[in-house]
Every structure is written in structure tokens, then in C-alpha cells.
A and B are shown apart, each in its own frame.
Chain A
């Protein structure tokens, strides 16, 4: 487990910090601004329901936000 976590962390650091990419200019971000490029897919209700389905059937949660409320656990 510790080893798996270390590998994943290392990958994350590589992707987000070490990659020496050329800085992207504002006028180059048109495609990134599409709703489809949002991490929640651009639909809050759809993303929340998918999370609710997963957390009510499985033991894992988290990795997205904080301060969620409710059970919905049947």
C-alpha cells in the first residue's frame, strides 16, 4: 500500500510540477474552456448522483471536495 501510494504521488508530482512545458497563453485556452473539459464533466447534478451511487455501494470516498452532508447510504 505504502509503495503504491508513493508511486502514485511520484506520478502526480511529475505531471503537475516537473513537466517543463511552455507556458500556455490565454489566447491558446479556447479548447480548455469548454464545459466538456471541466473535471466534473460540466454537469453538477450528474456528477453528484454518480458519486452518491458509488459511495452508497462501495467503501471508498473522497478525493474531490470537502464538507459533504447526508447519508443516502442504503
Chain B
């Protein structure tokens, strides 16, 4: 069994530099010295529906570039264009499209990160800009990593801030502001020649406008504190060349939402270089303290917090995905991924789900092309 070989110089260099294990989205991926350049194109299509009706559709082409500069710098950039259209709930599972008013928006976003590598440390500076018809966001971040002498342990410390402006097209929110500060602390540890684990704590404090201007009667607190602890464990199987990735996240916030999320992905290479990646995710959350069950308006008191946004209700969800990765020569690879998402009140763990809500489903198709150099 063989895995698709990366460019010949990179595997040994990466091995010598471990723990070289990339961080998750939105963070500067700064845990290993630059060895490969990369250009990736990806097209994603998302269609959401509920019984009897289609909801939001998202079409997202995106470009990612990782550019090694000199011996100890990398520049990373990601550009994405989301086209969002369709019906979105006005409250609970009653759709806006039913009244003839759907969503039709385009989101343009760019992320740039510059990372400087030292002998056993790195520092990354990043910025993100996102523009929609009704929502502008500007964010900056700094992330530093420190390796132990044997490079079996890495400490990651990061901080960021974002400034958002909300200007809803229906005139409910006019030039409303929200500011969020967040911080992270993480430890990555090489446990054995085939196991690596990571624990990350993040904390975010947001203040400003949190209402959803498109939802009926929606009024939310003027601040939100969010805490998340994620635990990740990756295992490599020696004989088959497979890799198993497991992750768990515990989340809670000042709106009384507690959530548990479990992710598992198994990456299995075949002799011809193709790789199959089945994945499964389970998520469960409790409701925000100001979420009220149907009918809409029940529990509403003027001047007090209220939402009928089902995303803040109590439910469970399952995502099942299957990806096929096909290499072309040493440097090119393509991948195709299909996943299904389903959300149901009854699937909540550790308690009752919110009653009288329709299940929500989505199917996602992705196609990607990557060039490593």
C-alpha cells in the first residue's frame, strides 16, 4: 500500500520538524517550517431543505495559495466568493420565501497570513476582510508557537479581534456595530511515532449588536462570552498507511448554550494512490435561555430578550461525508466530496430537544484541485 507521494524533499523535512501539524481554520497555520508551496482551487455547493421546501443554496468557489518566501517565511492567502440565495426562516421553520422575500447575497472574503519561522518558534500575523450587502467584517490576529527542544511538544498562543458592521437590507439594522476579541491557548504533543494529540482552549468576548434583523421579534443580549475546549487525536496505522483523526469540542457561552461536537475521519490509501476518506460528525446543543418554542411570540415580553431562531434551539445533528482523492503524478491531486447533514430536535444528547420544529437537512458537494510545488 502506498500513499500519494508528496514532492520528494518535503516528507523528511517535515518529519524532522514535527510537531508540524496544521491548526484549524482561520488560524495562521504556523506550526512547521515552510517546505511546500501550494495552490488549491475548490468549488463547493450547499443546498439546504426541510420537509416540503428548499431553503438556502450556497455556491462557493475559493482559492488558497501558500507561498514559501526565502527560507523562513510563508505567505498564505485565501479568497472566496459565496453566492447565497433562497428561503431563510423568518421564525422557527417558517420561511421567508413563503412571503416572496428570499435571500440573495454575495459574500466576498480574503484572508492573508504572513508567518516568520525561527529555530523552535514561529509568529504569524493575519488579517481577514469580508463584505456582504448587509454585513462587513474586518479582523486581525497574531499567533505564536513555541516548540520544546525535542520538538515533541508545541505551545500555541494566539489573539485576535474583529470589527463587524451590520446594515440589513430591510432597514431594521442601520450601521450597527459588533466587536469581538478572542484568544487561544493550545498544546500539541507527539505521543508515539504514530500518535499526536492537541488540546486547545479558546475564549471570545463580543459586544454590540447580536440580533438577527431578518427574524421576527428577535432581540438578543448586547454581549456574548464564548468558551471552547477542543481535543484532537490523530493516529497513523503502520501496515495499511491509514490515518484516523478524532476530535471532540466542548462549548459553552453566556447565553446558556452548551454544546458537544465529535468528529471522526478515516483516511485510507489504496495501492493505486487513490485515497478514500469517510467521515462522521455528531453535534448536540442546548437552547439559548431566550429561545422560545412555537408558536411565534409565545413568551415574548416587550423590552426583553427573545428569539425564535431555531439555530439557538436545542437539537442534535449528524453529518456523514465521503471523499475520494485522486492524484495526478507527484504534484497534482484532485478530490470529490459528498456529505449529508441532518438536524433533529430528538437527536439532542443529555436532555430534551426543542419541540415542534421540522428537521433540517443539507447536501454538500465539493470538488477540489491542488498543486504542490
Cβ of B60 < 8 Å from any Cβ of A?
yes
- Contact B366–A46 (Cβ < 8 Å): yes
Which of chain B's residues have a CB closer than 8 A to the CB of A19? 191
Q: Which residue of B lies closest to A62 (CB)?
A: B228
Given A49-B44, A58-B311, is A68 in contact with B183 using a C-beta cutoff of 8 Å?
A: no
Contact partner, B103, options A33, A36, A59, A74, Cβ 8 Å: A74
Which of chain B's residues have a CB closer than 8 A to the CB of A1? 252, 258
Contact partner, A68, options B139, B203, B250, B257, Cβ 8 Å: B139
Q: How large is the interface on A (under 10, 10 to 19, 20 to 34, 35 or more residues)?
A: 35 or more
Tell me how many residue pairs across A and B have CB atoms closer than 8 Å: 298
Contact partner, A33, options B11, B197, B257, B343, Cβ 8 Å: B11
Which of chain A's residues have a CB closer than 8 A to the CB of B158? 65-67
- Contact B231–A39 (Cβ < 8 Å): no
- Contact A43–B24 (Cβ < 8 Å): no
Cβ of B236 < 8 Å from any Cβ of A?
yes
Which of chain A's residues have a CB closer than 8 A to the CB of B364? 49, 53
- Contact B22–A40 (Cβ < 8 Å): yes
- Contact A8–B162 (Cβ < 8 Å): no
Which of chain B's residues have a CB closer than 8 A to the CB of A39? 21-24, 198, 232, 234, 245, 247
Interface residues of B in 326-371 (CB under 8 A from A): 335, 337, 341, 343, 360, 362, 364, 366, 368, 370
A5 CB → nearest B CB, Å = 6
Which of chain A's residues have a CB closer than 8 A to the CB of B187? 16-17
Q: Which residue of B lies closest to A64 (CB)?
A: B24
Which of chain B's residues have a CB closer than 8 A to the CB of A17? 187, 189
Q: Which residue of B lies closest to A30 (CB)?
A: B15
Cβ of B261 < 8 Å from any Cβ of A?
yes
Q: What are some 30 contacts across the A-B interface (CB < 8 A)?
A: A5-B229, A5-B252, A21-B192, A32-B21, A32-B196, A36-B243, A36-B275, A37-B236, A37-B243, A39-B232, A43-B335, A44-B25, A44-B29, A44-B40, A44-B76, A48-B62, A49-B42, A49-B44, A49-B62, A58-B343, A59-B259, A59-B288, A62-B202, A62-B226, A63-B251, A66-B182, A66-B183, A67-B26, A68-B26, A72-B109
Residues in chain A within 8 A of chain B (CB atoms): 1, 4-5, 8-9, 11-12, 15-17, 19, 21, 23-24, 26-49, 51, 53-54, 57-74
